[in-house]
């Protein structure tokens, strides 16, 4: 789909819209990314490729691509999350339908308030429900490519000995990669909310404080065992190791320095 040109008019080119100033190269990059979204290469809620990938493919600088993503975000096409990536929030209207309405705000469910006010008990319940099912589906549906990407993350994790902040970040990426490997968009979106909670400063500080070198070593081993179970399509083993990880993380949620 990379070469498909859509007939959908971008929001900044629609009648009555006065777009902010942007260089032509920025608009060109924005249009090329937008075309991929409306043609279905990147569906609603999916994460875009990294800036460097677009830069290499378009023959542009990363700065130009970054400005293009900021331009798209201004029109409600994507949303950017620190340390997470850029996600599609644009929904194209079906053919022959009524004129499209502006895309709904991400706050229409007040996600931000939920993320900022989630309690340890709530997180414990949600993780106990979602994470065993995520690894069950992961053992069934993760592709060879998914497992290879997960292995790379695990190799990075296994180099961490005492850097608690780095370990917490990589662990979150590892679990998110398993969720993405289910290829269930609704489940992935739900788990991203869990990830956003874990990114909140007070949650992150609590997790980092709990990660002594010994705890990091224990957690590394559990993640290694989880990976091996997924690689072997061992559903029961994957769920067992995930439950051990959940139990450990729940202790961290209740950790008092």
Q: Are residues 70 and 155 in the same domain?
A: no
Two tokens at 114?
Answer: 């939920």
Q: Evaluate whether residue 2 is within a structural domain.
A: no
**Is 53 within a domain?**
yes
Based on the structure, what is the number of domains in the chain?
Answer: 2
Do 84 and 122 share a domain, yes or no? no
176 lies in some domain: yes
**18-27, 35-44, 127-136, 185-194, range with the lowest pLDDT:** 18-27
Its domain, for residue 52, covers 11-104
Last residue of a domain, one of 85, 104, 123: 104
Asked whether the predicted pLDDT for residue 254 surpasses 90, the reply is no
Give the span between the Cα atoms of 60 and 22, in whole angstroms. 15
pLDDT (average), residues 126-144: 94
Give SS3 for 88: strand
Residues 218 and 156 in one domain: yes
Judged on CB neighbours under 10 Å (0-12, 13-18, 19+), 34 is: buried
H/E stretch holding 78: strand 78-81
For the domain that residue 230 is a member of, what is the CATH number?
A: 1.20.120.530
pTM of the model: 0.57
Whole-angstrom Cα distance, residue 211 to residue 245? 13
How many other C-beta atoms lie within 10 A of the C-beta of residue 128? 14
Q: What pLDDT, in 10s, does the model give residues 195-248?
A: 998 888 877 888 888 899 999 999 999 999 999 999 999 999 999 999 999 988
> How far apart, in whole angstroms, are the C-alpha atoms of residue 225 and residue 214?
17
Q: Could you give the CA distance from residue 22 to residue 6 in angstroms, rounded to a whole number? A: 21
> Among 114, 79, 92, which residue's Cα sits nearest to residue 196?
114
Residues 120 and 94 in one domain: no
Q: Are residues 157 and 241 in the same domain?
A: yes
Query: By C-alpha distance, which of 134, 148, 145, 221 is closest to 178?
Result: 134
**Is residue 58 domain-shared with residue 113, that is, in the same domain?**
no
45 vs 16, 111, 125, 199, CA distance in Å? 28, 14, 24, 19
pLDDT for 154-200, tens place per residue? 999 999 999 999 999 999 999 999 999 999 999 999 999 999 988 88
* Same-domain status, 88 and 189: no
CA distance 182 to 179: 5
Looking at the domain assignment, is residue 5 inside a domain?
no
Confidence grade of residue 109 (pLDDT, cut at 50, 70, 90): low
134 and 150 fall within a common domain: yes
Q: How far apart are CA 31 and CA 9, in angstroms?
A: 10
Domain boundary among 69, 88, 104: 104
Q: Answer whether residue 93 is part of any domain.
A: yes
Question: Rounded CA gap, 153 and 180, in Å?
Answer: 14
User: Which element (helix H / strand E) includes 79?
Assistant: strand 78-81
Same domain, 25 and 114: no
The angle at the Cα of 191, spanning 160 to 187, to the nearest 5 degrees, equals: 130
Tell me whether residue 220 is in a domain: yes
Q: Where do runs of H (alpha helix) occur along the chain? A: 24-38, 51-58, 62-74, 111-117, 120-141, 144-157, 164-180, 185-199, 201-210, 213-231, 235-253
The domain that holds 33 is classified in CATH as 1.10.10.10
- Residues 79-103 have pLDDT tens digits of 877 667 788 888 765 544 444 445 4
Same domain membership, residue 157 and residue 85: no
């Amino acid at each position: 789909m990379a070469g498909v040109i859509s007939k959908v008019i971008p929001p900044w080119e629609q009648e009555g819209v006065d777009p902010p100033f942007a260089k032509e190269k920025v608009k060109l990059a924005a249009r090329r990314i937008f075309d991929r979204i409306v043609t279905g290469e990147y569906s609603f809620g999916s994460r875009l490729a990294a800036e460097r990938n677009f830069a290499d493919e378009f023959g542009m600088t990363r700065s130009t691509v970054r400005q293009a993503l900021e331009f798209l975000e201004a029109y409600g096409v994507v949303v950017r999350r620190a340390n997470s990536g850029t996600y599609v929030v644009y929904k194209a209207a079906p053919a022959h339908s009524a004129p499209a309405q502006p895309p709904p705000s991400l706050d229409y469910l007040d996600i931000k308030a939920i993320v900022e006010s989630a309690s340890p008990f709530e997180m414990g319940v949600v993780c106990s429900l979602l994470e065993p099912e995520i690894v069950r589906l992961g053992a069934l549906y993760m592709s060879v490519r998914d497992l290879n990407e997960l292995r790379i993350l695990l190799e990075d994790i296994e180099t961490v000995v005492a850097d608690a902040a780095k370990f917490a970040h990589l662990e979150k990426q590892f679990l998110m990669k398993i969720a993405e490997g289910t290829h269930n968009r609704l489940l992935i979106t739900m788990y991203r909310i869990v990830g956003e909670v874990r990114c909140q400063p007070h949650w992150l500080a609590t997790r980092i404080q709990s990660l002594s070198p010994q705890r990091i070593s224990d957690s590394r081993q559990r993640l290694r065992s989880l990976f091996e179970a997924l690689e072997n399509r061992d559903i029961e083993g994957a769920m067992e190791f995930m439950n051990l990880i959940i139990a450990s993380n729940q202790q961290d949620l209740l950790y008092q320095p």
